[in-house]
Every structure is written in C-alpha cells, then in structure tokens.
Chains A and B, each alone.
Chain A
Amino acid sequence: MDLLKEWQQLHQEKFNYSPIEKEQIMKAIYQESNSTISTLKKRLAGKLYWIIFFLIAGGIWMLFSLDQPELLMIQGGFMAAYLLGLIVMGLEYRKMDTNLDFNDQTLPLMKKQDQLIKRALNFEKIWGMVAFPLAILGGLLLGHVERGRTLADFFQDPKSLGLALILIIVLVPIMYFVTNKMNKFAYGDLVDDLQNNIRRMEDLA
C-alpha cells in the first residue's frame, strides 16, 4: 500500500486551494499578533499603564498633602513600591517575546514558549501576592489618617492591626485562587498541550 501515492491523490482533490489574496496577506502582516506571548505581553502592558496611572494620581495627591507629613509618608512609601514595580515589570515587558523565533526547530520553540508562559503567569502571581497585601494595608492606613488619627495610633491599636491581618489572611488566598483559576481557564489547555507535546517529543529522543 503506497501511502505517499494516496496522499498525492488526496492532495489534488482536497488541498487544491486558490491562492490567498494579496490584500489579505498585506492586512495580516500589519495586524497585531494573536499569539499567546503577545496576549500575555498586552496584559502586562495593561498593568504597566495602571501603575503609571497610580503614580500620576498619587503624585498629584501628594502635592495636595504637603502639610500632612504622616499622610505624605504613606503616600511616599506607596509611590516607591509602585515605582519599583514599574521598573521590574518594564524590564520583564521588554524581554518578553524577543526570545521566540518561529524559524527555530519545533521542539526548542515549544520549550521556550512553555517557559515564557510559565514565567509570565508566575510573575503575575508574585506581583499579586506583593501588591494585594500592600493595597489592603495602604487602604486601611489611609482611611485611618484621613479620619484624623496618626500612624502610630494604627500600629498601636490591636483592633486595627487585627483587622489588617484578618483581611490579608482571608483576601490574599482568595485572590491567589481566583487568579490561578482564571489563568488555568485561559491558558491551562495550551500549557497542557505544550507539555504533552514536549514530553512526547523528548520521549522519542
């Protein structure tokens, strides 16, 4: 049985497509990529814009709080944390898809893609684990100071500290769980397929 001959015959019957229109090719090469890494990069860009927005908004707020040293101190702390986040994320953003080259052989390309996806998703998780507790604590501190109390009051008040601790202990795992679920929904099948294909190719080797 000559499979090649049968495939050739099939080729003439089934794969006899008309050429792609020039306009369609030109449109496609100037569009934004739908690739997974490009999508993850866009998500990261969205976070960067939010950080820039918070930095600008925080800077303006600081200008109006110059006569309140305690408030200024909290704001300054947050601005420094967000600035650090902006630098770290900015570096990650710049690195993101320069590693992928579709001229590469399939196995190394799939491995790189798998690593990049995992890295980006882990990065999001770590960022959430740091930013979310800070945001909870910051929100409580700001509310405290806005009500005319001092920072020292907050840290000496077991009730306020307990509330902060409970909120962090309860909300951070929930947020971690939700992020994981959402990422699993969005990328779980792709990561599973990639790992399965990589494993199968490595088993061959």
Chain B
Amino acid sequence: MPTSNENEFVRLIQQHSGIIYKIINLYIDDEEDKRDLHQEILLQAWKSYQRFKGDSSFATWLYKVSLNTVLTFNKKAKKHSELKTDAPLSAQHSTDKKDQSELLYYLVRQLQEVDRMIMTLHLEGYKNQEIADITGLKVNHINVKLHRLKNQIIEQLKKERHGLA
C-alpha cells in the first residue's frame, strides 16, 4: 500500500513525466540504456525527494536530478555507438515547418554534454540565474556561454535552411 508521500511523489512525477523522457532522449540513443536510465532517474528522484525542501519548483528540481543522473550514468553502449547526431534527412530536404524544427532538436543533440545541458535549460525557459543554481556555474559565465551557443546554433540553422531554399 503506497504511503501518502509515495502517492504525492507519483502524482508529481506523472505530471512532469515529459522532463524525464526529454532528458533521456537528448542524451541517450541505446534502448537498453534508455530503460536503465529511466528507472535510475525515478529511483534517484525518489531518494532525493526525501530531501526536497521546495526551494525551487518541482519541475526545476526534477531537471536537476535527471541531468545529474544522466551525466553520472555509466552507459552500457560505449563510445563507439555515440549519439546518432546527423541531421535528419527529412529535415534536410523539407521545407515543412515540423521537419524544420526537428533540425533544432538535432543541433542541440550535437552539442557537447555540458553545452547541451546549458542550452536545453535555456530553451526550456529557465533564467540564467536558475541555470547557474542547477549547474553550479556562475551566472556571468552562463551568459557568455549561452550567447556563443545561441549564435552557433542560429548560424547552423541559417546555413541548413539557406541551403534548402
């Protein structure tokens, strides 16, 4: 019989399931690793939930736990099967808006793990101060990094789209 604490945790996780799926898909390609990591994030979230004081929103906290778990996870699929980061063919040869936005997703996935974390949090609408609180980096360094990353991605998007036109 689940306790009231467990019921509350389950309710919150169900409300924010998308965060877990999103982080896993942004970092992992291998299906077995995805399943293991999914379970591990739920377990670490449950263990950490006992110490969650509500200083931030549940969503922010879940992002932090999920990113911490994924960045310290020992993947079974090793480097020879790194993320498939090629831009999707459909996006390269399509002017469809849906396929075009896929390009952004693949460009974010191509970023190095730390850059991907900063960019994802930014795209999820977090303020630079919140990103600094999650990652442990200084806010002015996040500002500089994000400026560079955004320029890099916009340039790549322009290049891809210009090439298509």
Contacts and interface: CB of A to CB of B under 8 A. Distances in A.
Contacts, number: 158
Given A28-B42, A35-B69, A189-B75, 11 more contacts: A6-B101, A7-B123, A19-B14, A29-B9, A35-B74, A105-B135, A187-B74, A194-B72, A201-B136, A204-B141, A205-B138
Interface of B: 2, 6, 9-10, 13-15, 17-18, 20-22, 36, 38-40, 42-48, 51-52, 61, 64-65, 67-69, 71-75, 78-79, 97-98, 101-102, 104-105, 112-115, 117, 123-125, 133-138, 141, 144-145, 150, 153-154, 157-158
Interface footprint category on A: 35 or more
Interface string A184-201: 001101100110010011
Nearest to B150: A3
Q: Is the interface of B mostly helix, strand, loop or mixed?
A: helix
Contacts of B137: 107, 201, 204-205
Nearest to A193: B113
Nearest to B117: A106
A109 B51 contact: no
Sorted from nearest, which 3 A-B pairs have the closest CB atoms? A105-B136, A107-B136, A28-B42
B129 to A, nearest CB: 13
B91 to A, nearest CB: 11
B78 to A, nearest CB: 5
Contacts of B43: 28-29, 31, 33
Interface string A51-90: 0000000000000000000000000000000000000000
Given A106-B136, A201-B137, A25 B113 contact: no
Interface stretch (A10-18, A125-133, A135-143, A174-182): A10-18
A15 B16 CA distance: 11
Given A103-B64, A105-B133, A106-B68, A35 B73 contact: yes
Contacts of B48: 101-103
B40 A200 contact: no
A58 B6 CA distance: 47
Contact of B74 (A19, A31, A39): A39
20 contacts: A3-B154, A10-B101, A10-B104, A15-B18, A19-B14, A33-B44, A34-B73, A35-B44, A102-B69, A103-B48, A105-B64, A105-B134, A105-B136, A106-B134, A110-B68, A113-B72, A186-B74, A190-B72, A190-B73, A200-B112
